[in-house]
């Protein structure tokens, strides 16, 4: 995992913010750990610093963690929710990589950081869109909504994060030339969004597993372990 240089925390309770800043500064002393109780100041920090890791309270008087996460997901690395409300856990995991219940113990925080270290990090990407025809008209689809593209001769099946699939009369190569570095062609007929990768099994066969349950054997000539480990 790349070094974490900046961490941002948003919680409406000052005591909770100060506690998280103290613990994280001790665990990752090289990182700039900034805590906020005001959403506007937090958003300004995220825009300016592009933090590698963000901790969000789930329920605040002026907003929710899910709403804030939607605003910053293209600006930050991994997101972790910190809250007393366990009923939000399923919705939270659609956005975040972990969910910590209050009060936060040092041991639980360390476990969460270990989980971040094991991930293929989300990385920082500028959100882009591509046009695809859906039901007779073109639609601008954000790259974050596309998990994979699968070539079928002169056609490409675009697989959305929702599970929807759209067959488009356009070659995979044509798509490859218009996509950002957020995507990687791991097989002659498969392009995947790198931050949709759940895990990679490196062995005699290289197997790539996506968060939507899709798995594919990658081409060894297109996959360098060092490239993925460095992210």
84 in the same domain as 21? yes
146 in the same domain as 84? no
Compute the distance between CA of residue 31 and CA of residue 188 in angstroms, rounded to an integer: 40
What residues make up the domain containing 133?
A: 129-229
Q: Residue 35 sits in a domain of what CATH number?
A: 3.40.50.2300
Last residue of a domain, one of 89, 118, 147: 118
Q: Residue 218 sits in a domain of what CATH number?
A: 2.40.50.1020
User: Residues of the chain with pLDDT > 70: what percent?
Assistant: 87
Last residue of a domain, one of 88, 118, 148: 118
Structure confidence at residue 158 (pLDDT): 94
pTM as predicted: 0.53
101 in the same domain as 19? yes
Residue 98, C-beta contacts closer than 8 angstroms, at least 6 positions apart: 80, 81, 112, 115, 116
* Tokens describing residue 161: 């994060």
Does 124 fall in a domain? no
Does 152 fall in a domain? yes
Structure confidence at residue 231 (pLDDT): 45
142 in the same domain as 112? no
Does 1 fall in a domain? no
193 in the same domain as 101? no
Torsion of CA 80, 81, 87, 91, to 10 degrees: -60
Does 161 fall in a domain? yes
Residues of the chain with pLDDT below 70 are 1-2, 85-94, 119-127, 136, 225-231
Structure confidence at residue 84 (pLDDT): 81
Compute the distance between CA of residue 82 and CA of residue 84 in angstroms, rounded to an integer: 7
Does 123 fall in a domain? no
20 in the same domain as 109? yes
Does 215 fall in a domain? yes
134 in the same domain as 68? no
Structure confidence at residue 2 (pLDDT): 57
Provide the 10 A C-beta neighbour count for residue 183: 22
Total domain count for the chain? 2
């Amino acid at each position: 995992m790349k070094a974490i240089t900046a961490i941002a925390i948003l919680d409406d309770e000052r005591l909770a913010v100060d506690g998280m800043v103290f613990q994280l500064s001790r665990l990752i002393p090289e990182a700039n750990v900034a805590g906020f109780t005001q959403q506007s100041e937090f958003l300004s920090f995220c825009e300016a610093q592009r933090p590698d890791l963000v901790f969000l309270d789930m329920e605040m008087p002026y907003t929710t963690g899910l709403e804030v996460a939607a605003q910053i997901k293209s600006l930050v690395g991994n997101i972790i929710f910190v809250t007393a409300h366990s009923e939000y856990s399923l919705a939270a995991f659609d956005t975040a990589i972990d969910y910590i219940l209050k009060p936060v113990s040092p041991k639980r925080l360390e476990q969460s950081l270990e989980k971040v270290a094991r991930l293929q990090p989300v990385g920082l990407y500028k959100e882009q869109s591509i046009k695809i025809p859906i039901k007779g008209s073109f639609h601008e689809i954000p790259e974050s909504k596309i998990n994979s593209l699968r070539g079928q001769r002169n056609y490409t099946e675009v697989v959305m994060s929702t599970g929807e699939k759209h067959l488009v009369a356009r070659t995979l190569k044509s798509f490859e030339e218009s996509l950002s570095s957020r995507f990687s062609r791991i097989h002659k007929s498969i392009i995947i969004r790198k931050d949709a990768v759940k895990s990679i099994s490196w062995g005699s066969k290289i197997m790539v597993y996506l968060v939507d349950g899709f798995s594919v054997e990658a081409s060894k000539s297109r996959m360098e372990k060092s490239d993925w480990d460095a992210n």
